[in-house]
Amino acid sequence: MENMNIGHHISRQFNEELEDVRNQVLIMGGLVEQQITDAVKSLVEGDSRLAEEVIENDHKVNGLEVAIDEECTQILARRQPAASDLRLVIAVIKTITDLERIGDQAEKIARMGLHLSQMERPKGQYYEVQSLGERVIKMLHQTLDAFARMDVDAAIKVSQQDDKIDHEYDGIMRKMVTFMMEDPRSIKRSLDVIWSVRALERVGDHSKNICEYVIYLVKGKDVRHTEYMKKAVED
């Protein structure tokens, strides 16, 4: 495992500022993870009250993004960080953008859950959303853990899960198209499911982005859009 520690500055206050902004990202990440978990649960269980809570709580995610971004701006202006400190601030700014977008996807799933709660529920109880949701939530949790530990090896391993998410998403899409062709009455419900699993697939993409920021933070190398991430970060 390769990671990076902070807290090596002469200025104790600077150390505390960097540690605080990193902790704020983890708080935001925890909220976003709960939002996705609740959104999927609300859809699968037809819980309209929980769906409404997810929608209502989206402003908390947005508020954290604004607050953390402002804190990063103040650090850049006052401290003029360089090297790994600058990479940390940049990585945080990029990470909270992806977390905010994951929050948006949670809200979208919750809205689809509200629509579906008013329709006749299929025999499968939306198991396709539940299955993909569990995989995506696990990836997001492991992504946040890699960020917390600044663990490059974990970030590489977690990012590779995105391919499995894409594969499962493609399978669900084919299934939904088949349902709509065989029974036009299922079109409205199938479209809501499609939008929901599309949102989950996007969460996987955003989680992968955060993993790439972890690698950039620790290694100082931008591995975005590279085919072989492992090779790209080798010394």
Domain presence at residue 104: yes
Domain presence at residue 1: no
In this structure, what token pair is assigned to residue 92?
């945080």
Domain presence at residue 83: yes
Q: How confident is the model at residue 229 (pLDDT cuts 50, 70, 90)?
A: low
DSSP assignment, residue 227?
Answer: S
Mean pLDDT of 94-111: 98
Domain presence at residue 5: no
User: What's the confidence (pLDDT) of residue 6?
Assistant: 56
Confidence (pTM): 0.90
Host domain of residue 203: 12-232
Q: Which pLDDT tens digit goes with each residue over 187-225?
A: 988 899 999 999 999 999 999 999 999 999 999 887 876
As a whole number of angstroms, the distance between CA 39 and CA 54 comes to: 6
Q: Which pLDDT tens digit goes with each residue over 27-85?
A: 999 999 999 999 999 999 999 999 999 999 999 999 999 999 999 999 999 988 888 89
Number of independent structural domains in the chain = 1
In this structure, what token pair is assigned to residue 111?
């809205």
User: What's the confidence (pLDDT) of residue 231?
Assistant: 54
Q: What is the phi-psi region of residue 2: left when phi exceeds 0, alpha when psi lies from -120 to 50, beta otherwise?
A: beta
What's 49's domain CATH number? 1.20.58.220
Burial status of residue 212 (CB atoms within 10 A of its CB: 0-12, 13-18, 19 or more): buried
Is 184 strand, coil or helix? helix
Burial status of residue 59 (CB atoms within 10 A of its CB: 0-12, 13-18, 19 or more): exposed
Domain presence at residue 81: yes
User: What's the confidence (pLDDT) of residue 90?
Assistant: 95
Mean pLDDT of 143-148: 97
Q: Please state, for a pLDDT cut of 90, what percent of the chain lies above it.
A: 73
Average pLDDT across the chain, whole number: 90
Domain presence at residue 55: yes
Domain presence at residue 6: no
DSSP assignment, residue 111?
Answer: H
Which residue from 145, 156, 143, 139 is spatially nearest to 233, judged by alpha carbons?
156
